[in-house]
């Protein structure tokens, strides 16, 4: 998303970015860009275990809701601990909101708040493959059969790729997506 932010800034727009992450320092992205930074301390809890597992194994749909649960808890913490920054955002006048889709429940809340209160348009930007629950909630028309699932199977050969013409791949994608939507809606909301 940084290239888009810098391009908008160079085009003369004033940009404000809510950045909630584990980096204790606020980034400087250049002129016309205000960073509203919320530091989230790293814990040795489930998020760290999940991240390690994500890079050493394969994660499937029944596991994904755990990330949403962790994200919801982190969002609650930063709403409680950094409410003055959230109030500052809610008091601003916006022309457009660009919300990052990747596990950013707070960006949906802010975007839908402004859409409902002042009819401010928003764009959902996905920096990765759109997660099925987000696509389902936003009615984005994502085809769960032909679109590759976020945590797809591990290829066995170098030339193996997503092939939507193969029935077993469409079935796999649909099953994983439906399980994830069910798990996220049932266990993390």
- Of 26, 33, 28, nearest to 11 by C-alpha is 33
Structure tokens of 147? 């679109």
CA distances from 87 to 36, 78, 110 (A): 11, 12, 11
To the nearest whole number, what is the mean pLDDT of the chain?
78
User: What are the start-end ranges of the E strands in the chain?
Assistant: 15-21, 33-39, 97-100, 122-125
What's the whole-model pTM score?
Answer: 0.62
Q: Would you state the pLDDT for residue 25?
A: 92
* pLDDT, tens digit, 9 for 90 and up, residues 12-68: 999 988 888 778 899 999 999 999 888 877 765 556 666 666 667 667 777 777 777
* Percent over 70 (pLDDT), the chain: 71
User: Cα–Cα distance between 37 and 3 in angstroms, integer?
Assistant: 18
Q: What residues does 122 pair with on adjacent strands? A: 97
């Amino acid at each position: 998303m940084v290239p888009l932010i810098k391009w908008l800034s160079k085009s003369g727009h004033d940009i404000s970015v809510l950045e909630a992450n584990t980096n204790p320092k606020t980034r400087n992205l250049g002129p016309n860009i205000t960073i509203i930074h919320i530091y989230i301390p790293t814990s040795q809890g489930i998020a760290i275990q999940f991240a390690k597992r994500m890079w050493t194994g394969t994660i499937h749909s029944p596991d994904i809701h755990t990330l949403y649960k962790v994200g919801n808890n982190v969002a609650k913490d930063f709403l409680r601990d950094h409410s003055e920054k959230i109030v500052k955002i809610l008091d601003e006048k916006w022309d457009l909101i660009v919300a990052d889709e990747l596990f950013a429940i707070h960006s949906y809340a802010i975007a839908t708040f402004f859409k409902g209160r002042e009819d401010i348009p928003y764009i959902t930007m996905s920096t990765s493959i759109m997660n099925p629950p987000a696509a389902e909630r936003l009615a984005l028309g994502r085809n769960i059969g032909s679109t590759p699932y976020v945590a797809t199977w591990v290829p066995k050969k170098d030339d193996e790729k997503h092939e939507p013409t193969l029935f077993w791949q469409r079935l796999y994608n649909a099953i994983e997506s439906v399980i994830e939507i069910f798990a996220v809606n049932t266990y993390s909301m």
